[in-house]
Chain A
Amino acid sequence: GIQVEQSPPDLILQEGANSTLRCNFSDSVNNLQWFHQNPWGQLINLFYIPSGTKQNGRLSATTVATERYSLLYISSSQTTDSGVYFCAVEFASGGSYIPTFGRGTSLIVHP
């Protein structure tokens, strides 16, 4: 069936380290967004990135739609980056307009 898979499921970093989070999807997508859920549960939109590369400060994201994956890069990580990172995709088939989330990558950044 249609799936969104994120890796790694868990990640522990020392402050200042860099990391790459991956989102694979099983079918063609119209749209893709990355979110950060902080330790208090608030979900914040990071990027709207159906294709190409975008950067916002220490964060950047790349989506290669033809190869069905997206990457989120975190550079010089800080303790405030801790939380769960989700990708959400809107699959192209059937005109569904349904945002489907992956299971997330849980990130802990130690001082």
Chain B
Amino acid sequence: GAGVSQSPRYKVAKRGQDVALRCDPISGHVSLFWYQQALGQGPEFLTYFQNEAQLDKSGLPSDRFFAERPEGSVSTLKIQRTQQEDSAVYLCASSAQGAVGNEQFFGPGTRLTVL
């Protein structure tokens, strides 16, 4: 079956531009996470959705970062006025609910380069 997909796979932005990154989770998965992975580092949590509700946004680095999941499926991570330090791979993950649903399935990521 289809896994988590993300688009675009690569994005180059000039400093100050706004970008939007899309995540299509596995169908039926209630939970959706966004992580940021800097070069040579492990993923770092950004934000979490349960259906359409954003229940945790404690990892968003600044108010330039905004995420939404209006219909409880596709999610978009938006970064306004991009800075060079925003350059990273942005990973989306989804999981089902329940005791056996702890596994998070990751997408391929979007590599953002800010010039």
Please indicate whether A and B come from the same complex rather than being unrelated chains. no
**What residues of chain A have their CB less than 8 Å away from a CB belonging to chain B?**
none
**What residues of chain B have their CB less than 8 Å away from a CB belonging to chain A?**
none
